A and B are shown apart, each in its own frame.
Chain A
């Protein structure tokens, strides 16, 4: 049984279908890459999967249980956690308090005391490389630091399914490499990951399987190498280039003639 089963999920804003009839399965322990050009509906899709937005139609099963109508906090308590594309730190708190709050309210909340939540938060901060910054104010972090804080807060809820919404946006080359290592280590710790990203190369490097969204619908699905070779995907990313090639050819002919 798949960890997450999505069936015919749609979201309409008025007449616009932002997500249109998407179905997919995510297996236990998998890293699923979710890619698509700008405006393809990736973030809307994640908002549906995490319950931040109500879906218009379709169903979602998590561990075989229907979660379609559950709110984001309920899904989090079941073990689904996410990061945000634009980091959303709790600005009035320290880095440690941000993560501690997540440990107190996440899926492991029962019986957790302040002391154990703090211990858990410190451990997670060490894992993501923010141990030194624990007592800094969250707003004082750099972009890369804020992205790490997003991940730390998400991990502190002790999730089994993690949605990473463009975790590499705004990072430089070194930071991207470090972030990808971090994502791999999270997976080897036993989590299943849905990895939404705009940077195709990065997705291909870590994903076991890739799903391509375009105009809110599922365009293709397969291994990274299948996807790279897929003509439709190239079309979606680059647009229809065949016409341009023809025109260019005619232009050259006209000039030489």
Chain B
């Protein structure tokens, strides 16, 4: 990590320096944004839906990366936050709340859930937290399946196309709007991760991960930092859920709270490299490429094949495929791989 050594000049320059790339951030960020902006011009309807979904997964993977990668806490609640964003927004929409406010309402619900789970468990050892995050998803699925009030019926799927209110748009423009929304969300998630990494919060996080008692002893509120990051992570996942629900136009409880989503994003983050800025993006892109390559031809085999690939990668490159970019070909050398394998030895 580079430290700021000189007092910085203008506002823009300071932000660029904070993002770690100096003036070079603009050199890749601006063309990338432009490419994403123009992407709908060159892809068909299917392509833009896939691209929008990829953006959603980048946002979700980065949300999980914050708590799971940087803090090292295995949250299994991200499908719950995603679902709360979706279902929460749906309930507010049905009751006449405008779209943006309804989305914020869903996010607020997820933040409250994160506080309920995090406040008591983040002071304890990691296992309690993992169990609590697992339980919250189950509790919410069953709760909402039996929930029937405020015009919302959890047991059936709810149509919110009219309430979202973009009916005058044709299919292509509609998808385009939501692709942009997901791309902005992915960008925000990236920005949050990059700023975290380079802020005092980032230092606090690294300290906690490396030596928790020592972190507390130098004045870092360990439980406070963990809770803060868990809440930010939950809010991001819930926002993705809200945008997803609005895009889909119909929401049902079991697919909103599908815990498979949590496992998918965990796999993506581990595959790419947890606790890194770019690893989760690599993971998302690889999983999507795999699905596109093997999914159509061997639909029934695709889960087995991608599962095998994950196992092999996690065994041989436990720090994620980002190591191939960091170390180059050396990451595949026998020495590095055998050293990686030795990390699994029981001491």
- Specify which chain B residues have a CB less than 8 angstroms from the CB of A74 in the assembled complex: 221
Task: Tell me whether B7 and A115 are in contact (CB under 8 A).
Answer: yes
Does A182 sit at the interface, judged by CB under 8 A?
A: no
Could you say which of B35-43, B209-217, B328-336 contacts chain A?
B209-217
Closest to A163 in B: B217
Does A76 sit at the interface, judged by CB under 8 A?
A: yes
Chain A window 61-85, contacts with chain B (Cβ cutoff 8 Å), 1 for yes, 0 for no: 0000000000111101100011010
Does B207 sit at the interface, judged by CB under 8 A?
A: yes
Task: Tell me whether A93 and B206 are in contact (CB under 8 A).
Answer: yes
Within 8 A of B (CB), among A144-198: 153-154, 156-157
Q: Once the chains are docked, how many angstroms separate the CA of A106 from the CA of B200? A: 12
Task: Tell me whether A101 and B7 are in contact (CB under 8 A).
Answer: no
Task: Tell me whether B213 and A102 are in contact (CB under 8 A).
Answer: no
Q: Once the chains are docked, how many angstroms separate the CA of A164 from the CA of B293? A: 60
Task: Tell me whether B210 and A105 are in contact (CB under 8 A).
Answer: no
Closest to A84 in B: B214
| A-B CB contacts (within 8 Å), total count | 91
Task: Tell me whether B213 and A101 are in contact (CB under 8 A).
Answer: no
Task: Tell me whether B210 and A92 are in contact (CB under 8 A).
Answer: yes
Q: A76-B219, A82-B217, A97-B1 are in contact. Are A104 and B203 (CB under 8 A)?
A: yes
Residue from the list A52, A93, A96 in contact with B213, Cβ < 8 A? A52
In whole Å, how far is A105's beta carbon from the nearest beta carbon of chain B? 4
Task: Tell me whether B210 and A90 are in contact (CB under 8 A).
Answer: yes
Does A55 sit at the interface, judged by CB under 8 A?
A: no
Chain B window 188-232, contacts with chain A (Cβ cutoff 8 Å), 1 for yes, 0 for no: 000000000000100110110111011111111110000000000
- Specify which chain A residues have a CB less than 8 angstroms from the CB of B222 in the assembled complex: 73
Does A127 sit at the interface, judged by CB under 8 A?
A: no
Q: Specify the main secondary structure of chain B where it touches its partner.
A: helix
Chain B window 248-285, contacts with chain A (Cβ cutoff 8 Å), 1 for yes, 0 for no: 00000000000000000000000000000000000000
In whole Å, how far is B227's beta carbon from the nearest beta carbon of chain A? 13
Q: A92-B210, A115-B4 are in contact. Are A104 and B200 (CB under 8 A)?
A: yes
In whole Å, how far is B219's beta carbon from the nearest beta carbon of chain A? 4
Does B3 sit at the interface, judged by CB under 8 A?
A: yes
Residue from the list A93, A102, A118 in contact with B218, Cβ < 8 A? A102
Residue from the list A82, A105, A156 in contact with B220, Cβ < 8 A? A105
Q: A93-B206, A101-B203 are in contact. Are A88 and B214 (CB under 8 A)?
A: yes
- Specify which chain B residues have a CB less than 8 angstroms from the CB of A93 in the assembled complex: 1, 203, 206-207, 210
Task: Tell me whether A71 and B216 are in contact (CB under 8 A).
Answer: yes
- Specify which chain A residues have a CB less than 8 angstroms from the CB of B215 in the assembled complex: 90
In whole Å, how far is B281's beta carbon from the nearest beta carbon of chain A? 21
Interface centre among B203, B217, B220, B221 (most CB of A within 10 A): B217
User: Given A74-B221, A88-B214, A115-B7, 13 more contacts at CB 8 Å?
Assistant: A76-B217, A76-B218, A76-B219, A90-B210, A90-B214, A97-B1, A97-B203, A100-B203, A101-B203, A101-B207, A107-B219, A118-B3, A157-B218
